[in-house]
């Protein structure tokens, strides 16, 4: 039986974002196929006590319906590749052990796919990883360049990352596959509200700490409004003191509450109490939270700078705006406040448009790519 290998981090918890959540959902929803599918994690850490595990360790982590998840040392990973001679290997993150796949390609005929969740070189330039030590910055830049140039295909979730690959690494776009992220079933299970709450309720999921998330921009826009706003904030907060300082800038007409860093079930419950979802980002690789909000039946107001904006048809299943245009976004919010009934058809179309994003559909599309059918 031919094999497919997927390199990614294993987590049993639910509070995940980015590629870690992606790998977990791929594993849980992997479809039945003609392949033996093995997800591979690595032994991490820098203590001498785990050196043997980093080279020769093996740990069975979880057995799924159609795949298994194991943790292997570097030698074991290479042995597995040489023994299984997999059809394809999917690398889902900037992990050093992923170089084993590139090394094995010297000895085994295998297709390497690299899932580009975001470009480290671009994000470093935008000061998103300023706290990383120089060694990790250098390692990640070298590893990213190696994976991008040596992989047979690159999987991206947005047109912006696709263009960055061309601009920064001079990659031919024929090498790039545009894929989708999925939406958890819990968001589809929420009842669509027939009536819109009189309170102007907005939820923002970008947390606080990264300037590119647009929290400062959001403050400026909401302060231009002249009616009461209830703002719910969730996501990671890097500095509570800085967060509180920024929230103190809200006008007296804005009441806010911080909900914390929520898992899918908690976020779905939070969405159920809201009318509007807003994504004010200057840069966002994708934003799965946008799709989750649409599936939950919220009216989404999304920056055109976000990868997920390609799935929003302005005025049909959501509303788009250009980051930095304070007056435009404020005008959108004022109009929605005065014409609340306009939200109902948008909410219905938003949920309907998300049907194709159920994880079972997304993983089936990925399997087709790894087969070489796309």
Query: pLDDT-based confidence at 195, cuts 50/70/90?
Result: low
Phi, psi for residue 313 in degrees, rounded to 5: -95, 110
**pLDDT, greater one: 192 or 213:** 213
Write the DSSP symbol of residue 290: H
Q: pLDDT above 70 covers what percent of the chain?
A: 96
pLDDT exceeds 90 at position 49 = no
Domains and CATH numbers, the chain: 3-182+358-371 (3.40.50.2000), 185-357 (3.40.50.2000)
Query: pLDDT-based confidence at 317, cuts 50/70/90?
Result: very high
Element (H, E) at 91: strand 88-91
Average pLDDT for residues 101-129, to the nearest whole number?
81
Query: pLDDT-based confidence at 219, cuts 50/70/90?
Result: very high
Average pLDDT for residues 185-205, to the nearest whole number?
82
Helix (H, G, I), strand (E, B) or coil at 46: coil
Question: Contact at 8 Å (CB) between 75 and 56?
Answer: yes
- Describe the crossing of helices 215-222 and 326-338 by its angle, rounded to 10 degrees: 50
Distance separating alpha carbons of residues 22 and 194, to the nearest angstrom: 32
pLDDT exceeds 90 at position 18 = no
Look at residues 166, 204, 372 and name the one whose alpha carbon lies nearest to residue 293: 204
Over residues 81-95, the pLDDT tens digits come to: 999 999 999 999 887
Tokens (6 digits) for 327: 């007056």
Strands 88-91 and 319-321: unpaired
- Describe the crossing of helices 359-371 and 18-29 by its angle, rounded to 10 degrees: 90
What is the predicted pLDDT for the residue at 255? 95
Q: How far is CA 173 from CA 17, 43, 213, in A?
A: 27, 34, 27
Write the DSSP symbol of residue 157: S
């Amino acid at each position: 039986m031919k094999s497919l290998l997927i390199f990614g981090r294993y987590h049993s918890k639910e509070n995940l974002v980015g590629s870690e959540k992606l790998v977990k959902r791929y594993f849980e929803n992997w479809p039945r196929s003609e392949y033996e599918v093995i997800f591979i994690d690595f032994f991490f850490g820098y203590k001498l006590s785990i050196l043997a595990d980093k080279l020769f360790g093996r740990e069975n982590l979880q057995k799924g319906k159609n795949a298994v998840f194991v943790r292997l040392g570097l030698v074991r990973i290479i042995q597995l590749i040489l023994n299984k001679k997999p059809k394809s290997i999917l690398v889902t993150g900037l992990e050093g052990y992923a170089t084993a796949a590139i090394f094995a390609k010297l000895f085994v005929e295998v297709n390497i796919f690299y899932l580009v969740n975001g470009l480290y070189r671009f994000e470093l330039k935008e000061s998103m990883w300023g706290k990383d030590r120089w060694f990790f910055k250098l390692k990640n830049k070298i590893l990213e360049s190696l994976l991008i140039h040596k992989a047979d295909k690159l999987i991206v979730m947005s047109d912006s990352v696709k263009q960055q690959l061309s601009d920064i690494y001079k990659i031919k776009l024929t090498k790039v596959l545009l894929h989708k992220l999925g939406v958890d079933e819990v968001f589809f299970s929420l009842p669509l509200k027939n009536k819109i709450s009189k309170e102007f309720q907005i939820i923002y999921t970008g947390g606080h700490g990264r300037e590119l998330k647009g929290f400062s921009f959001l403050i400026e826009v909401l302060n231009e409004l002249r009616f009461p706003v209830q703002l719910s904030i969730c996501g990671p907060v890097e500095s509570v003191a800085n967060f509180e300082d920024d929230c103190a800038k809200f006008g007296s007409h804005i009441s806010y509450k911080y909900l914390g860093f929520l898992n899918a079930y908690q976020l779905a419950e939070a969405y159920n109490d809201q009318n509007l979802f807003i994504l004010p980002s200057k840069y966002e690789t994708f934003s799965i939270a946008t799709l989750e909000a649409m599936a939950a039946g919220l009216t989404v107001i999304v920056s055109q700078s976000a990868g997920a904006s390609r799935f929003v048809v302005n005025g049909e299943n959501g509303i788009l705006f250009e980051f930095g245009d304070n007056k435009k976004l404020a005008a959108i919010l004022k109009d929605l406040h005065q014409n609340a009934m306009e939200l109902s058809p948008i909410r219905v179309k938003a949920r309907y448009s998300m049907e194709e994003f159920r994880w079972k559909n997304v993983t089936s599309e990925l399997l087709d790519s790894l087969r070489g059918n796309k």
